[in-house]
Amino acid sequence: MLKVSNLWAGYDEVSVLHDVTLEVHPGEVVALVGANGAGKSTMMRCLAGLLKPTGGSIQFLGEEIGGLPAAQVVARGLAYVPEGRRLFGKLSVRENLLLGAYLERRDHRVAEQLGMVLSLFPEA
């Protein structure tokens, strides 16, 4: 599903990721854990298309996505929510979820998927 091979990335002259390899298979839940400055956010930014890797490969569903713009990565079904719960606080939970579905807004599946996601959470 997600395969990262020999990934290198950084900012300006600072190299942060050095030859990182990772595979995530369907049904797996993976945590990316490390100290501050270890490269967790850099890795996520590369996966999401927010930072272009300086080397290596990122494949999602068998397709190379390393270096694609974020909008093209999202269109393929891979998204990133940064730390700190940077959601839109003045929007309802429903509105935040619908905002995340903007690429499929004309698709009949949005209502179905919204119902499925809301069913995962207990009622308040």
Spans of all domains in the chain = 2-75, 87-124
pLDDT at 123: 67
Class of domain 2-75: alpha beta
Least confident of 9-13, 65-69, 70-74, 99-103: 99-103
pLDDT at 81: 75
CA distance 48 to 52: 9
Q: Which residues is 58 bridged to in the sheet?
A: 4
Identify each DSSP E strand in 29-106 by its residue range. 55-60, 63-64
pLDDT at 97: 76
pLDDT at residue 59 is higher than 90: yes
Q: How confident is the model at residue 63 (pLDDT cuts 50, 70, 90)?
A: very high
Q: How confident is the model at residue 8 (pLDDT cuts 50, 70, 90)?
A: very high
The mean pLDDT value for 29-58 works out to 95
The pTM is what? 0.74
pLDDT at residue 101 is higher than 60: yes
The mean pLDDT value for 49-58 works out to 96
pLDDT at 87: 65
The mean pLDDT value for 94-108 works out to 70
Burial tier of 54 (Cβ tally within 10 Å: 0-12, 13-18, 19+): middle
Q: Which two tokens stand for residue 104?
A: 């499929």
